[in-house]
Structure 1
Amino acid sequence: MPGRLFLTTPITEVAERLGVSAGHLPGQPPRRNIQPGQEVVALTPNGLTRMRWGMIPVGRVNARGRPVMETIINARSETVFDKTAFQGVGRAVVPVDGWYEWTGEKRRKTAWRITSRDGGLLLFAAITDTWLAPGGQRVDQLATVTCEPNGDVAAIHHRMGVLLRVEDLQTWLNGAEKEASALARPWPDGLLNVEEAGDVDWSAP
């Protein structure tokens, strides 16, 4: 939807593939188990940075004027530009090598690894916000945007993250809402590889 992410490609190579500078971002060890609440690399209109995956919606309200209480990990593309809770958000892109989903009953779940069939990066559309935490700490945060699954993913999950082509990044980051919304569609069938992920140490970072 995605549930967890992984990024093993070096940051300098990520920047090169995206046609931007790595800037101040230091290198990082391969990350094979990125969980909600942890930092991810994100491309914003100002370049590459790190942001918390999961938006704490302090001060945001729903259409009934009630506070939004839950941390937002994923936002539905069908309503992300319409919901009161998402007014004024920014946009970003999360580059990853792939993500994980699970199927099956509790305690008997099967983990699945989803990657690009050509071995390239996958670029998730995201929305962003800033949380002013107690003590004045500023936390830049994001939520990935989801849509209906394509044929590759449908057998393991009813949603998938919105994936972007490199040539569409600037439209998502800087385009009008109508232009960005048009990109929020399932990835074409046949471009993703789905395989069991029984080799992952889920206790490792």
Structure 2
Amino acid sequence: MCNNYAMKVSPATLMDSFADAAIPLIFPEGMPNAEPTESVRPTDPALLIRGDGTGQAALTSVRWGLPPSAPKRPLLINMRSEGRSFTSGRALVPASWFYEYTGTKYPKTKWTIAPLDHDFITFAALCKATSEGPRFSLLTVDAGPDIVGTYDRQPAVVAPDDWAAWLDERVRPPHLGPSRAGTFRVFESAKG
């Protein structure tokens, strides 16, 4: 499942895109220091967007991975969305593309899964307050037709038309489901 993604889009570009969707972005902790990167991994700080209940959304930097629910359990970096209501903690995580890995032996084959028609995508996420500060987990769904040949699950992607509803916890969230055919191009990443 997704444990690595790229974020090459600047906060200013995110601000413009969300303004186009009539969702002004605010920066309660100041403009996040977000250097473009080809690798965001669990425990890394990542850009996260949360609704504030007024039609605006806050862009902050939050660590990826919810603490385990019991000792000796792994960090919760991905969470199945099926059967959950998500009445609180809904967030968006912007990404330029993400990676999946196939194979049973090291080195595994690394695949890049990039959006065809946009500079970035937004993953559905769940953000919670923890003793270590806010943390998030990506929400997952069955893989769409572009991805299913690589992996059977994918991060849930929230389209720009659904950003406002996903971020407004006063309303029912939009349905999370597999991405439609033609959403992504999948190619083997360069060996490095």
Q: Which runs of 5+ in 1 are unaligned?
A: 61-65, 134-138
What's the offset of the Cα at 1:29? Answer: 2.2
Q: Distance in 2 between matches of 1:111 and 1:146?
A: 19
Which protein is richer in helix relative to its size?
1
TM-score normalized by structure 1? 0.80
Aligned counterparts, 1:7-18, within 5 A? 7-18=7-18
Q: Distance in 1 between matches of 2:88 and 2:71?
A: 16
What's the offset of the Cα at 1:120? Answer: 2.4
Larger CA deviation: 156-165 vs 115-124: 115-124
Describe the superposition over 1:181-202 as per-residue Cα deviations: whole angstroms up to 9, x where unpaired.
x421111111101111125x5x
Q: Distance in 2 between matches of 1:101 and 1:54?
A: 18
Answer yes or no: is the 8 Å Cα contact 2:9–2:119 preserved in 1. no
Question: Secondary structure in 2 aligned to 1:168?
Answer: helix
Answer yes or no: is the 8 Å Cα contact 1:98–1:122 preserved in 2. yes
Match of 1:72 in 2: 76
Question: Secondary structure in 2 aligned to 1:169?
Answer: helix
Match of 1:37 in 2: 43
Answer yes or no: is the 8 Å Cα contact 1:97–1:115 preserved in 2. yes
CA RMSD of aligned residues (A): 2.3
Query: Which letter does structure 1 place at the counterpart of 2:179?
Result: W
Aligned counterparts, 1:145-160, within 5 A? 145-160=139-154
What's the offset of the Cα at 1:27? Answer: 4.2
Answer yes or no: is the 8 Å Cα contact 1:11–1:22 preserved in 2. no
Answer yes or no: is the 8 Å Cα contact 1:4–1:34 preserved in 2. yes
Aligned counterparts, 1:25-174, within 5 A? 25-46=31-52, 47-57=58-68, 69-81=73-85, 89-133=88-132, 139-174=133-168
Answer yes or no: is the 8 Å Cα contact 2:95–2:121 preserved in 1. yes
Query: Which letter does structure 2 place at the counterpart of 1:74?
Result: N
Query: Which letter does structure 1 place at the counterpart of 2:17?
Result: R
What's the offset of the Cα at 1:172? Answer: 1.2
> How many residue pairs align between the two structures?
181
